[in-house]
Amino acid sequence: MKPTESPLATAAKPGAGFGCILAFGLLFILSGLAVGWFFAVRPVLRATLSLNWEPVPCEILSSRLDEKRDSDGSTYRVEIHYRYVYQGRRYVGERYDFGTGYTNIGVGSMRDAVRSYRPGSQQTCRVDPARPDEAVLSLRPPPGIWLGLLFGLLFPAAGAGVIWSGYRARRQARAEALTPLAAAFSADTPTVAGGAPETPAVGEVVIKPASGRLAPAIALGLFATAWNTGIGFFLFNILRDFDGGIAWFFVLFQIPFVLVGLLLLFIATVTISQVFAPRMELRLDPSLVRLGARVPFRWRFDRGGITALQIHLEGREEATYRQGTSTATDRREFHRAPLLELIDRLALAEGRAEFTLPVEGAAPTLAGKNNRVVWQLVAKATLPWRPSLVENFPLTVLGPPRLAPGPADAVPVAHRGGGLTLWVPPAFAPGETLVGNVARDPGAPAGPLTLRLGWFTEGRGTRDAGVVWTRKLPDLAPGADLGFEVPLPAAPWTFGGALVSVEWRLEVLDPAGAPLVAAPVVIAPGGVAVVLQPLAPAIGPARWKQRLGLGR
Amino acid sequence: METTFGSGPVNSAGANPFRTSRLLALPVHWGETTPETLLARWHAAGRRGALVGPHGTGKTTRLRALAARLAAEGWTILWIQWHDDGTAKPADWRAALRAAGPRTVLCLDGSENLGPLTAYRLLHYTRRAGGLLATRHRRAWTLKTLAVHRPSAEVFVAHATALSADAADSARAAFKAAHGNAHEAFRRLYLDRASSTRV
């Protein structure tokens, strides 16, 4: 990389227009509520209120099944007329039930109603005492009510989900807009930016799993229900009117959709069953989670039913690559240590254990937007008659409390460019102080300068970068030089893995922000860049088990 | 200067020849349709047009290069990108579009990720802008197609060998396995190299 190109200047602000998402979600909610009100709640409400209406004898004048045909098929309603006398006055009623009009749901029961209410027969209707011209024959809920109820629940749930995800995306975009990288450019004081985890407070806490169970179960359950309701509705209509001929085509056409529906039902059932599976609570002291440290932890299941338990510690690199409109994330493990394997039901319900984080070939947690070093405890619980339950508990791993110092005899190296000479030792340990010197050549033009220290990623992922320190030099005269000291952060370390590398760089910028000279520096224990040796990736069935979260 | 890992330089992510920073620095391969031809077609179409092609055929790269040329000609470039994971950059792209004046060219990458209603309204938003250049996976009736880009094994192999001279055979195999998607093929080459060489 040329000194005049700076990898530290990257920025991204993803997110979607929340106003549009809100409007879209509200549209879904309102549509669902409207459907639910008109086709479910209102008929039930009216039928319930009519229970207080007065039963009155009536005579059926006419009854038939009225059919309405259009390009989508036929819909029906019970067309009925009946005569009744209330408080000495004659009325003619036309309402059979509190249904909303023509429908193709419950046609069989409509036919039965027409048969039951033959013209000339004596029946009982219910009359509204307040408005005697209002009467009804049947108090049964109309047949379409369940569909109305289903849509009335599904659409608002989907709308609320859309709004919630949009709200979360906006909140995340706002948080990212406040990246310390931007603050570091305007501030004259050292600023820690990105990548370095904060030191946690001392004390045992509950570690939350990486993903919850309820949200995917609800989402999958709703989706599977909506899919199968729609497919079932179409299938029912096709089979009801099936008479061979061209209809075979429609029956065959439905087969793949039905198969997808069955698969969705299976996956949704498994996911929902996981909601009711025993929950594992994992406790440890995050301040102890440091490379090279032994970390005790406790676990407990909130109920029984587990027949076997395996826990292992995993460290891996993750790199997300965005080019054009596509996004891909790759993962590669560099550390894996089995911790325990239990089949004694009493022993696995709760217990204590410990793990030791490696000190060689490992790096602290890196939480870049596109590049990450992830540490986690993975618990796999075996349940009878159900798929195994796999939960990941992410850990924020810090560097060791005592690090090998950087090379004591490191000689500053001169880096020249843009009429400047930058003297910097090449390697340091995290937390040490970088002492350097910048000199302007006697013949070089004067002008303000900025010193900047930052890290950036190389490798498979789209680049992440962070600036941890800047200092403005408004008046470095030609022929003059200036010493400076930079307290180095504890992380990220200089490391190289299969997918992600982190490198550090000290730059001197011109007033336009273009680097005039740059010096690479290593910031790692002992001043030697760490190597993350990748483990062999899973292949064949093991790879698919891994992808489906079914363990190794 | 290359960072030294352990006792000497090794092939880590920072030294993988197919790492992202090197992919992004590859020169643009224009083929028969030169940038001058594309810009002439764009002007003839009322300064509104689209580069069309499937994933990984270099649409974004060409759009970026055209944007640089237009910027050099004095146009103000407004770059908006919609990703297939539902995110967009910048997040407030609607306001940016509405503010575009007659000297602004809108470079819209991944506009096919918009919903049909928003895509239609895009025309309304952008009527005051000086020009519009977009990338799409399929032709659109609302926007003239300037060029259709198709996967080219020769171009991909040339790029791959520019990054690593011994990669010709593996590049051909990766391109075939990725069904002509250069992004995916480069990913395969990267992972193959990361797996075959110990870090």
Residue with tokens 């030697």: A528
Q: In what order do the strands lie in the sheet with A433-440?
A: A413-417, A420-424, A433-440, A481-487
Q: What is the pLDDT of residues A453-492, one digit of tens each?
A: 999 999 999 889 999 999 998 888 899 999 999 999 998 9
CATH of B35-148, one of 3.40.50.300, 3.40.50.2000, 2.60.40.10, 2.40.50.1020: 3.40.50.300
Whether residue B183 and residue A325 make contact (CB cut-off 8 A), yes or no, is no
Weakest mean pLDDT among A161-170, A300-309, B144-153: A161-170
pLDDT tens string B5-17: 444 444 588 889 9
Spell out the SS3 assignment of A456-489.
EEEECCCCCEEEEEEEEECCCCCCCEEEEEEECC
**Domain limits, chain A:** 20-147, 413-531
User: Given a cut of 90, is residue A179 above it in pLDDT?
Assistant: no
Q: Is the pLDDT of residue B194 over 80?
A: yes
Are residues A324 and B109, on separate chains, in Cβ contact within 8 Å?
yes
Asked if B3's CB is within 8 angstroms of A503's CB, the reply is yes
Measuring CA to CA, how many Å separate A266 from each of A224, A232, A261? 9, 16, 9
The fold of A413-531 is: Immunoglobulin-like (2.60.40)
Residue A458: which of B21, B92, B135 has the nearest Cβ? B21
As a whole number of angstroms, the distance between CA B87 and CA B66 comes to 24
CA distance A128 to A156: 34
Judge whether A4 and A514 are in contact, CB under 8 Å: yes
Distance CA B45, CA B121 (A): 20
Given pLDDT bands bounded at 50, 70 and 90, which one contains residue B2? very low
Amino acid A472: pLDDT: 92
- What's the rounded Cα separation, in Å, for the pair B174 and B185? 5
ipTM: 0.72
CA distances (Å), A194 to each of A123, A450, B14, B88, B138, in order?
Answer: 79, 20, 19, 22, 39
What per-residue confidence (pLDDT) applies to A68?
80
Residues 396-455 of A with CB under 8 A from B: none
Distance CA A523, CA A504 (A): 7
Cβ pair B23:A323 closer than 8 A: yes
Yes or no: say if A381 and A388 are a contact pair by the CB < 8 Å rule: yes
To the nearest whole Å, the CA of A535 is away from the closest chain B CA by 9
Alpha carbons A492 and A399: distance in angstroms, whole number? 9
Using an 8 Å CB-CB cutoff, list chain B residues near A323: 20, 23-24, 60, 183
- Averaged pLDDT for residues A347-376: 92
**Amino acid sitting at position A536:** A
Pairwise CB contact (< 8 Å): A498 & B195: yes
Question: Per mean pLDDT, which of A154-163, A232-241, A286-295, B118-127 is the most reliable?
Answer: A286-295
Residue pair A396/A286 in contact (Cβ under 8 Å)? The answer is yes
Q: Is the pLDDT of residue B154 over 60?
A: yes
pLDDT greater at residue A169 or residue A328? A328
Tell whether the model's pLDDT for residue A164 goes beyond 70: yes
Is B149 a residue whose pLDDT tops 50? Answer: yes
| pLDDT given at position A189 | 26
Q: Where are the beta strands (DSSP E) in A10-152?
A: 54-70, 73-86, 89-93, 122-127, 135-136
Strand B131-136 relative to strand B104-109, pairing: parallel
Strand B131-136 and strand B48-52: pairing?
parallel
A496 with B56: Cβ contact below 8 A: no
Chain A residues close to B10, C-beta within 8 Å: 496, 531
Task: Spell out which residues of chain A touch residue B191, defining contact as CB-CB under 8 Å.
Answer: 330, 460
Confidence check: pLDDT of A181 > 80: no
Task: Name every chain B residue with its beta carbon within 8 A of the beta carbon of A525.
Answer: none
The pLDDT of residue A457 is 92
